[in-house]
Amino acid sequence: MISLREIEDAAEKISGHVHRTPLIRSDTFSQMTGAEVYLKAENLQKTGSFKVRGAFYKLSSLGQERVIAASMGNHAQGVAYVAARLGVQAKVVMPLTAPIVKQEATKGYGAEVELYGATYQEALTHALG
């Protein structure tokens, strides 16, 4: 189990490198549940997804000059964005079925994109090989 201290350490490490996205109260979900429900607006995050948070934390911990990852899209964009900011070369293996918009965005953030396999699992196996 992850401790509160580990979460605080991770938050400190990524602070200043990702957006602090707002919480928005959901009237609908609050009424449905009888509780105060807030939604985290991660669509406002750099690259449009929360995945950049994990990518920054992991890549900044590795101290590598080159990384390889497998993804269908959002994680790929996070890895590409963070790698460019850290001066790390990134290669992302995506299946042939990955949306073109995700492929192009990943390239746009600076990663090399290799298309391989019909499924994510095939792309992952290739990336690990």
Q: Tens digit of pLDDT for each residue in 54-64?
A: 999 999 999 88
Structure tokens that stand for 77 in this block = 């964009």
Maximum CA extent, the chain: 50
Residue 82 CB contacts under 8 Å (≥ 6 apart), including other chains: 17, 52, 55, 56, 59, 60, 88
Enter the pTM of the model.
0.87
Average pLDDT over residues 109-121: 97
Please answer whether residues 113 and 56 qualify as being in contact, where contact means their C-beta atoms are separated by less than 8 angstroms: no
Residue 93's identity, in one-letter code, is V
Q: Tens digit of pLDDT for each residue in 71-98?
A: 999 999 999 999 999 999 999 999 999 9
Closest to 69 measured CA to CA, from 108, 111, 117, 127 = 127
Q: Tens digit of pLDDT for each residue in 13-43?
A: 999 999 999 999 999 999 999 999 999 999 9
Domain 4-128 CATH assignment equals 3.20.80.10: no
Please answer whether residues 11 and 17 qualify as being in contact, where contact means their C-beta atoms are separated by less than 8 angstroms: no
Give the DSSP H or E segment for 76: helix 74-86
